[in-house]
Structure 1
Amino acid sequence: MNDSPPVAAAGWTVELGEAGDGAEFRAVYRGEDFGAPRRGLLALIARGDSVGGAPEEAAQLAARLFAEGYFGGLATLSPTRAAARALTSANAWMHRQSRADVQRLGMAASLCAVALPASKTCVVLHLGDTRALLLRDGQIQPLTADHLRPLPSGAKILTRAIGLDREAQADVVEFDARPGDRLVLLGASRAEQLEALLRGDSPQILAQNLAGSGGAALVLDVRGVAAPEIEDIARDFADLPLRPPPQEGDTLDGFVIGRTLYRGPYTLLKRARDAVENRDVVLKLPLPAMAQDAVFQAGFLREAWIGARARSRFLVDYLDVPRERRSCLYLVMPYYHGQTLEARLKETPPASLAEGAGVAASLCDAIEDLARKQVVHRDIKPENIFLLSTGEIKLLDLGLAALPGLGEVRDDLGGTTRYMAPELFKGAAAGPRTEMFSLGVTLYRMFSGGAFPFGRREAFPLARARPDLPQWLGEIIARAIAADPGARFADAAQLRDALEHGLAHQNWRAPNRRRFDPATPWRIATAVLALLCVALLVWKR
């Protein structure tokens, strides 16, 4: 591993260093090499013990059996449960061999392993006399304790090891990793070794220094952490209470509360000043009514997870607040300068073709970006579109989003009724064409100045509300909100292409309409009278 490049797996980026002799087995495995990419990385050190004289084999067998069991476990198992089952299986095999094979008599092995799955949470499993340490913010934190019992002679014997007893019991430690963390696995430790952790050496140099006087060392420097899984968010939020919303002037967890920006039936948006990080933010606070609605509780959790995982320049950012800082449930977002599209609809004049086309193109890009991340927003509407003062847009409120590409199928009816495609009310699944319907209604309202395209029994063409806009724009919007899903644009990219084609190749002005002349009826009446007079004269002759 000398001068090896960083290793990346399941969202993690780690720099590695390793050193040691053959008496202790050390390895780093990647889940994708076992057909289990979401298991990420597994780093371990094993030290063997055997009356039969094969400690190196014991260490290698323990490590490999454990790794194969961990990566080969059911995908539905959490990393911690997968590790526990792998340990049970490896222990059973080695225990049988240590009794049945003379060459492997008394075979056992200490093991210390750290798993970095597709989650921000590390899992450390340990039994025996190997050990794990965490260096964070200049402080050394032991993660394990030796399983040794001193004898009257001064020697020490193992009390736990793989293969030592019929059942193996390991210590398991879970913690949320941060970029900058340094994890160290050792076969043995001494005071001078621990002092070396603080010198700031590269992972490889540190590993060599730690293993220089015997033993083995494996060093992992965390450079990038996996995005949190929804289970991570659920765990973080599980014990957080719903409290009455704070009032203006109150302080909550270091946030100085400002004015109310929005109040809905289930949530409240408050402007605040983060006195800890020195920044302006918006707090999204659940109201007591949410406690009675499981759908909205799940939506709040989903919004936090998607916001942390599906980063995009078109999505509102969700700021991470350390678990130890929180005293209750809320989400934190930056404070953006601008207004919602709904607020823009209340202003005059309504959007021009140039202004509206710019917003429409950005919305298409935003929806396409979400689609690439396997997210269906399901609630596209002016209220959930924020127009930044810089000219960019942000999509708000991911609480109703669906994740079909990530295995989540939602059968609840989500969205705002007047923006929902007709087929959704018949049980159809949300997808790109239902998003196009919501987008079409939104664009109609933007250009019309707030009117909806549908009445009780009829549809209103855009030309009725905005005769000054070109006909091709109305045709694009009409196609987006077609009742038949197959007649709509297949996705946002198609709608954007049609819009760009219209801007580039079509007339920007409305179709020519003959101006009404007030004298025209009199001219017609005069002509009719003249014809009657001629007819009378002819008839008298």
Structure 2
Amino acid sequence: MNTSAPVTAAGWTLDAGEAAGPEAQEFRALYRGEDFSAPRRGLLALVTRGDSAGGAPDEAAQVAARLFAEGFFGGLATLSPAVAAARALSSANSWLFRQSRADPQRLGMAASLCALACPASKKLLIVHLGETRAYLLRDGRVQPLTTDHLRPLPSGAMVLTRALGLDREAQADVVEIDARPGDRIILLGAALREGNLDSPPQTLAENLAKSGGAAVVVDIRDVAAPQLDDLAADFADLPIRPPPQEGDTLDGFVIGRTIYRGQYTLLKRARDTVENRDVALKLPLPAMAQDKVFHAGFLREAWIGARTRGRYMADYLDLPRARRSCLYLVMPYYHGQTLDARLKQAPPVSLAEGAGIAASLCDAVEDLARRQVVHRDIKPENIFLLTSGAIKLLDLGLAALPGLENVRDELGGTTRYMAPELFRGAAAGPRSEVFALGVTLYRMFSGGAFPFGRREAFPLARARPDLPEWLGKIIAQAINADPNARFADAAALRDALEHGLAHEDWRSPPKRPLNALMLWRALAGALALLCLFLLWRR
């Protein structure tokens, strides 16, 4: 993309210029997220340089740029730009590393990379490894943003210590910049030489490329200031209408019975006559329009559900925009029941059954964590047990998205499952999720009782003396009031449960045998007291 006109991307307004250097082993590019169906990723500018000591240096430079861009824009929308960049870098490095070992024509194939990301955030991101360079020009001063990853040899020659394809794992330097209007970022395939740096971006890029290698120049006109509503732009313009009744038809869905009714939402079974399938429709009730927090949560659930897929998440089905006449969500109709319904049934959840549910639930929370999603409302009502034995996490309306810094989060969750630190203003994270998991597991095994009274915590053994002692200790650690005393994350909780199942006794604590001598002494003492009482009465 070679442009002298302003570029708008993810809330940024930029001027950009690019130019090729004199060497074929250098490559430069400007990519827009909207060209990859990822508009919130904004603009990506980069310069790559193939290692001349390795095979196919020109190919290495071009492939490194393309793979990194595809990985960055193709990453999950819930990921922070830094995490998306790290994963893209790892993927590109793996491909180059394999090729440099498997193909004789590409032996030693490696590439330096320096990238500037302008995502939907107020911060710019610089990713760098190798001998490409980035500079910040601010208020007339030039500031290097990168350091070359080079090591001198005894001969005086310099060799790369970091590059894509050089090692099995790639280590990059990542720099975040609080951008200001008027900032200029310069990416180069070689060192910056002194000279006039005030030319227009395209002119400066061409001048720098003549003597300093491939060049990209980006000027910041306006800093991005995206709003929370951007997350749900696809759904925000849809009206909230009175819910349909059983037998009605809505957008090709024949409405069936009510599955669940809450204060703000209604879950209905329906038949999709267009796709010939059974579905569940989650419909907002008119009262939601008056509650901005719940309305935003419903839109957020729609946004997250449309962009993340996983074996433990309820699937959200896509509908053509022309088919949808009002706001609602569409999910497959799952056969099974919620954990809340199960824990109210006889017999109580056994150790074997509960351990299977607990392991899957921990895996589900970790799967969300890898996507940088914090559920924030884990409880039996939001856990669906499929008849196949699998589970699905429901209701992402209160989910936090720590990877997207511009998303403002209100205090969210169900009070009796919320970790104490959340009420003191702490951000939700892995340890607060562990607390909610602990309360949920306690309720699952106890038959619905909560672990806390007004003044004290109730050990699991009080509700289920038939369960092993180690299980109660694990749950007690998960619901510890001190977050640092809890398991670090759901994976650590799962590991503790698996260790208990593999190495501890499954049986309940043995009851103390009766001591015959103590029993006779107690009886004798009671008889003596009775005799004294009778004598006193006389």
> How high is the TM-score relative to the length of structure 1?
0.56
Alignment-derived partner of residue 325 in structure 2: 327
Q: 1:232 to 1:332 in 2, by over 3 A?
A: farther
- In the alignment, what sits opposite 1:406? 404
Identify the residue that residue 497 of structure 2 maps to in structure 1.
499
Per the alignment, residue 393 of structure 2 pairs with 395
Residue pair 1:380, 1:435 contacting (<8 A) in 2 also: yes
- Tell me the amino acid that sits aligned with residue 449 of structure 2: A
Shift of the 34–243 alpha-carbon distance from structure 1 to 2, 3 Å rule, reads closer
Q: Secondary structure at the residue paired with 2:473? A: helix
2:393 matches 1:362: no
Give secondary structure in 1 for the equivalent of 2:322. helix
The offset of 1:525, in angstroms, is 2.5
Report the Cα distance in structure 1 between the residues aligned to 2:417 and 2:522, rounded to whole angstroms.
48
Q: CA offsets per residue over residues 281-315 of structure 1, 9 Å max, x none?
A: 00000001110111111111111111121210000
What code does the residue aligned with 1:510 have? S
- Residue aligning to 1:423: 421
Residue 358 of structure 1, CA deviation: 0.3
Distance 2:117 2:365 in 1: 36
Task: Give the equivalent residue in structure 2 for 1:130.
Answer: none
Candidates 507, 510, 527, aligned match of 1:509? 507
- Deviation at 1:348? 1.1
Provide the C-alpha distance between the structure 1 equivalents of 2:495 and 2:394, rounded to a whole number of angstroms: 24
Q: Deviations over 1:66-124 (max 9, x none)?
A: xxxxx98954499xxxxxxxxxxxxxxxxxxxxxxxxxxxxxxxxxxxxxxxxxxxxxx
Q: Quick one: distance in 1 between partners of 2:376 and 2:437?
A: 10
SS of the residue corresponding to residue 472 of structure 2 reads helix
2:503 partner letter: H
Cα–Cα, structure 1 residues 408 and 511, in superposed 2: closer, same or farther, change >3 Å? farther
How many matched pairs?
A: 333
Structure 1 equivalent of residue 453 of structure 2:
455
Residue 517 and residue 277 in structure 1: after superposition, are their counterparts in 2 closer, same or farther (change >3 A)?
A: farther
- The answer to whether the 8 Å contact 2:376/2:399 transfers is yes
- Give structure 2 stretches of 5+ with no counterpart: 1-30, 38-61, 76-114, 123-226, 532-538
Residue 3 of structure 2 is matched in structure 1 by none
Aligned residue number for residue 308 of structure 2:
310
Residue 524 of structure 2 corresponds to 526
Counterpart mapping for 1:426-437 below 5 A: 426-437=424-435
Amino acid at match of 1:427: G
The answer to whether 1:244 aligns with 2:242 is yes
> Judging changes above 3 Å, is the alpha-carbon distance between structure 1 residues 425 and 72 closer, same or farther for their aligned structure 2 residues?
closer
Aligned runs of 1:106-255 on 2, under 5 Å?
A: 234-255=232-253
Higher relative contact order, chain-length normalized (CA < 8 Å, sep 6+): 2
Shift of 1:451: 0.2
Distance 1:264 1:31, change over 3 A: farther
- CA distance, structure 2, for counterparts of residue 357 and residue 308 of structure 1: 31
- State the SS of the aligned residue for 2:403: helix
Structure 2 counterpart of 1:401, one-letter code: A
Cα displacement (A) at 1:412: 1.0
Check 1:484–1:528 CA distance in 2 against 1; reply closer, same or farther (3 A cut): same
Alignment of 1:350 onto 2:348: yes
Cα distance in structure 2, aligned partners of 1:276 and 1:28? 43
Query: Partner amino acid for 1:456?
Result: R
For 1:235 and 1:31, the matched residues in 2 are separated by 29
Partner in structure 2 of residue 489 of structure 1:
487
* Cα offsets for 1:121-180 (capped at 9, x unmatched): xxxxxxxxxxxxxxxxxxxxxxxxxxxxxxxxxxxxxxxxxxxxxxxxxxxxxxxxxxxx
Q: Structure 1 regions of 5+ residues with no counterpart?
A: 1-7, 14-26, 41-70, 79-228, 534-541
**Contact (CA 8 Å) 1:255, 1:272: kept in 2 or not?**
yes
Q: SS of the residue aligned with 2:497?
A: helix
Q: Determine the structure 2 residue equivalent to 1:464.
A: 462
Separation of aligned partners in 2, 1:249 and 1:383: 27
Equivalence for 1:212: none
Query: How far did 1:517 drift?
Result: 8.6
Q: Conserved in 2, the CA contact under 8 Å of 1:380 and 1:442?
A: yes
**In the superposition, relative to structure 1, how do residues 515 and 263 fare at CA in structure 2: closer, same or farther (>3 Å)?**
farther
| Matches for 1:271-310 after TM superposition, within 5 Å | 271-310=269-308
Q: Which residue of 1 aligns with 2:159?
A: none
**Contact 1:437–1:482 at 8 Å: present in 2 too?**
yes
- What code does the residue aligned with 1:258 have? G
Query: How do residues 468-479 of structure 1 correspond to structure 2 at under 5 angstroms?
Result: 468-479=466-477
| One-letter amino acid matched to 1:283 | L
Contact 1:34 1:72 in 2 (8 A): no
Aligned partners of 2:528, 2:118: CA distance in 1, in Å? Answer: 95
Identity %: 75
Once residues 356 and 266 of structure 1 are traced to their aligned partners in structure 2, the CA distance between those partners, rounded to angstroms, is 31
**1:257/1:35 Cα in 2 relative to 1: closer, same or farther (>3 Å)?**
closer
1:444-471 Cα shifts (integer Å, max 9, x gaps): 0000000000011111000000000000
Change (3 A) 1:248 1:518: farther
Q: Cα 1:418–1:251, aligned 2, differ >3 Å: closer, same or farther?
A: same
Quote the Cα distance in structure 2 between the aligned partners of 1:367 and 1:347: 25
Give the Cα separation in 2 of the matches to 1:439 and 1:454.
14
> What is the TM-score of this pair, normalised by structure 2?
0.57
The secondary structure found in structure 2 opposite 1:300 is: helix
Q: Deviations over 1:327-353 (max 9, x none)?
A: 111000000000000001110121000
Inter-CA distance 253–232: structure 2 relative to 1 (3 Å threshold): farther
* Structure 2 equivalent of residue 173 of structure 1: none
The partner residue of 1:446 within 441, 444, 447 is 444
Q: What secondary structure sits across from 1:280 in the alignment?
A: strand
Partner Cα distance (1:35, 1:253) in 2: 36
Report what 2:26 is aligned to.
Answer: none
Contact map agreement 2:232 2:302 (CA 8 A) in 1:
no
Once residues 507 and 459 of structure 1 are traced to their aligned partners in structure 2, the CA distance between those partners, rounded to angstroms, is 24
**Residue 73 and residue 514 in structure 1: after superposition, are their counterparts in 2 closer, same or farther (change >3 A)?**
closer
C-alpha separation in 2, matches of 1:409 and 1:235: 14
SS of match in other structure, 1:235? helix
SS at match of 1:404: coil
SS in 1 for 2:431: helix
